[in-house]
Each structure stands twice: as C-alpha cells, then as structure tokens.
Structure 1
Amino acid sequence: MTATVAYKILTGAQLAQLLADGTFAGAPVDIADGYIHLSTAGQVRGTLDKHFAAQDDLHLAAVDLAALGDAIRWEVSRGGALFPHIYAQLPLSAVIAHAPVSRYAGGEPVLPA
C-alpha cells in the first residue's frame, strides 16, 4: 500500500494511557485479535460508523506507518479492503498528531494533522 499515515481510534482513557505510558498495547478487541487495528484516511468514517457509533469521548491518533517498519501488515478486512494492522505495541513516538473525533457537516471525520 502507498498510505504513509493511518489512524487509530481511541477512547479518552486509551489516549491518556498512551500519553502517560509512551506506548499502547491495544484496545480489548486489538488484544483479542493479536494486533492493533488501524484505518486509512478513507476508512476512518466506516470504522467509526460501524464500531464506535454509540460511543462518546473518542479521539483519532495519526500514526506514521514508516516509523513502525515491519510491524505493519496490510491485511484484508471489512469489504475485502486492505487495512493496516500493527503487530507490536503502538509507541507514542509514531503518533504524529491526535485530536478528539469531530466531523464535517457531511459526516466525514476531521483528521488530525
């Protein structure tokens, strides 16, 4: 894949843990699956709508994929699309920006830059 940045959707508590510890081992679903789920810019809205629709206090962390090297694998997931997965912990050093989830008037999420 050619994407160089992907996004992790975090709860407020998960973001606080990442900021305090300097690393994030994953949400319960990540730990159960054995990797940390990420979404590309074009996949964030679908992930938010499908898996986080009823949740508040959500944040997006922009992740520099190059900083993670071989820990990133692109794998088929929802709808046959390739999604980036981290087979390691997410280090804070790979997070280039983060912000609370907000959306434009048309529903697209505002991506942190």
Structure 2
Amino acid sequence: MMIYKIFRAGEWTALQTEGETLGAPVDLADGFVHFSTAAQVAETAARHFSGEAGLVLLAVDPDALGAALKWEPSRGGALFPHLFRPLRLEDVAWSRPLPLVDGLHMFPDDLA
C-alpha cells in the first residue's frame, strides 16, 4: 500500500531542488504534511484542487516514514496519514503528472 501527496508543480520543483519540504501552504498552517490513501486521494483532489492544472501526484511507502507518520481522523471520521517531519525526496517512491481532463483529475489506474 502507498499513500499519496498532491503537489503543485512549484512545490514539487522545490522538493526536488531542496531535497525536503514541510509541504504546501495548508501543511505549513496545520503543522504536518497531509497525505491520502488510494481510496481518499480523488476526493482530496476534488475538494482542494478543483479545476487546478499542473499538479503532480507523489507516492510514498508509509512503512518507510516510521513513527513520524500518524493516522488521524479527518473528513467524516476517516483516518488520514499525516507526516510530522519534513517530507524528503528519498521518501518519494514515484511521481506522475496529474492531468486535468474536462475539469477532472485523471489518476493512474494502478493506485494501491
């Protein structure tokens, strides 16, 4: 199982350049890096990135994050993964563009 982070292109570029990040503005405001599971990520995109082009989907192995990853209740009481340390470039298993087609984000078929 992987967990997923959606970044704007500039946020992804900053992670690649700097090697680590405290996340997007919402992450900085909340004090942790927000992630979603495969079952949650499409709704996350729809709620927080509606109609926004130029996004990048990152996949991270939650087991590699250790004790800094906490599963906490959020939308509707569902547990969401939250990272309480900087996200490091080496944490990212893969990245893919998240294209916008007819106003909807198109996710890879192999999310798990």
Give the residue type in structure 1 aligned to 2:77.
G
Q: Aligned residue pairs: how many?
A: 110
Identity of aligned residues (%): 42
Runs of 4+ in 1 over 3 A off after TM superposition: none
Structure 1 residue 86: Cα displacement:
0.3
Structure 1 residue 29: Cα displacement:
0.5
Q: 1:42 to 1:14 in 2, by over 3 A?
A: same
Name the counterpart of 1:62: 59
Unaligned runs of 5+ residues in structure 1 are none
Give the residue type in structure 1 aligned to 2:38.
A
Q: 1:84 to 1:30 in 2, by over 3 A?
A: same
Structure 1 residue 108: Cα displacement:
5.7
SS in 2 for 1:88: coil
Which of 61, 85, 88 in structure 2 is aligned with 1:88?
Answer: 85
Name the counterpart of 1:22: 19
What is the RMSD computed on CA atoms of the aligned residues? 2.2
Question: Does structure 2 retain, via aligned residues, the 8 Å contact 1:60–1:99?
Answer: yes
Which of 101, 107, 110 in structure 2 is aligned with 1:109?
Answer: 107
Residues 50-77 of structure 1: per-residue CA shift (max 9 Å, x gap):
1100311101000111111001000000
Question: Does structure 1 retain, via aligned residues, the 8 Å contact 2:45–2:105?
Answer: no
Question: Does structure 2 retain, via aligned residues, the 8 Å contact 1:98–1:112?
Answer: no
SS in 2 for 1:109: coil
> In the aligned structure 2, how far is the partner of 1:97 from the partner of 1:69?
19
Please state if 1:36 is matched with 2:33.
yes
Structure 1 residue 103: Cα displacement:
7.1
Which of 2, 5, 28 in structure 2 is aligned with 1:5?
Answer: 2
Name the counterpart of 2:45: 48
Give the residue type in structure 1 aligned to 2:47.
K
Give the residue type in structure 2 aligned to 1:16.
T
Unaligned runs of 5+ residues in structure 2 are none
Name the counterpart of 2:73: 76
